Chain A
């Protein structure tokens, strides 16, 4: 799930509850999170579930994006030798070489949302 999808899911499932219970706190700095946690017994079941999903999805996407450098290091050394990372050139190189890139690296690129 992309960050945009996670944000949209949160808005769709929790928007009414946020406006009802937490309309005076902002999204950032964990403030909305703290407020929603405090009201967790009052929010709708759908919001409770999708709120958890959105949080997990954001964490997973972030972890996948961070993992690429390490997971794909052997592939980049083999397939994109001497390339200095800049402006997405390493990713373009790996995407062009998809058929010979390792399964782990290909999976990381997919999970990062870069395909």
Chain B
């Protein structure tokens, strides 16, 4: 029989292995090691996705689902096969200004991206809001926030700009579709989406 302690350890291990579904509170404390684990291991068989495709998916979803925010379906990106992480970055209310309390988290993301294991890869950084507030405003805000994260990674923490693209997903892709107004849905997601051309200057 498994002791409670072993089961607890196993649960912790499983939680660490699947950062994409770790609860919000744990996400703020993601270490660069956990971020690395979440973003490494892109399979050759994984679906390919571009920033442009993601933006069209959002536009199509918004056009086809004009209904009320609390009842309309969440957009399923179907990107579960891509290495990915969810992180909580704190922004000023209704703004794309990153709070100082999240500078360390941004640095941890940069540490992972600067690791040779991830050197050869490109990423899409998405911004997501909850359904509070006007839908179009949330779409713009989420794009501005994703842009701010990319800008900080590139200009402060020296990640090569050709490796990063920012996409605002607005309030369309909920982490907890049953609770659309829950702040857990406000998050930044990062997906590993492909390799850089070989021998490109890597940083």
A binds B: yes
- A residues whose Cβ falls under 8 Å from a Cβ of B: 2-8, 10-11, 14-15, 18-19, 23-30, 58, 61-62, 65-66, 85-88, 90-91, 113-114
A residues less than 8 Å from B110 (CB atoms): 3-4
Which of B15-23, B90-98, B182-190 makes up part of the contact surface?
B90-98
| Beta-carbon nearest neighbor of B159 in chain A | A3
Cα–Cα distance between A14 and B120 once the two chains are bound (Å): 34
| Beta-carbon nearest neighbor of B40 in chain A | A87
A residues less than 8 Å from B116 (CB atoms): 85, 87-88, 90-91, 114
Cα–Cα distance between A18 and B103 once the two chains are bound (Å): 12
Cα–Cα distance between A61 and B104 once the two chains are bound (Å): 15
A residues less than 8 Å from B118 (CB atoms): 88
Docked-complex contact A87 and B120, CB < 8 angstroms: yes
B residues less than 8 Å from A29 (CB atoms): 151, 155
Q: How many residues of B contact A (CB 8 A)?
A: 34
Docked-complex contact A19 and B100, CB < 8 angstroms: yes
| Beta-carbon nearest neighbor of B31 in chain A | A4
B101 in contact (CB, < 8 A): yes
For chain A, what secondary structure do more than half of its interface residues adopt (helix, strand, loop), or is it mixed? helix
Cα–Cα distance between A88 and B115 once the two chains are bound (Å): 8
**A-B complex: 6 closest residue pairs judged by Cβ atoms:** A7-B107, A28-B151, A8-B104, A7-B103, A88-B117, A15-B100
B residues less than 8 Å from A11 (CB atoms): 100-104
Cα–Cα distance between A79 and B94 once the two chains are bound (Å): 54
Docked-complex contact A7 and B203, CB < 8 angstroms: no
Cα–Cα distance between A82 and B92 once the two chains are bound (Å): 50
Q: Known contacts being A3-B108, A7-B104, A58-B158, is A23 close to B119, with CB within 8 Å? A: no
Docked-complex contact A3 and B151, CB < 8 angstroms: no
Cα–Cα distance between A24 and B148 once the two chains are bound (Å): 13
Docked-complex contact A10 and B100, CB < 8 angstroms: yes
Docked-complex contact B152 and A27, CB < 8 angstroms: yes
Docked-complex contact A7 and B105, CB < 8 angstroms: yes
Most buried by B among A4, A65, A66, A114: A4
Shortest CB-to-CB span from A70 to chain B, Å, is 13
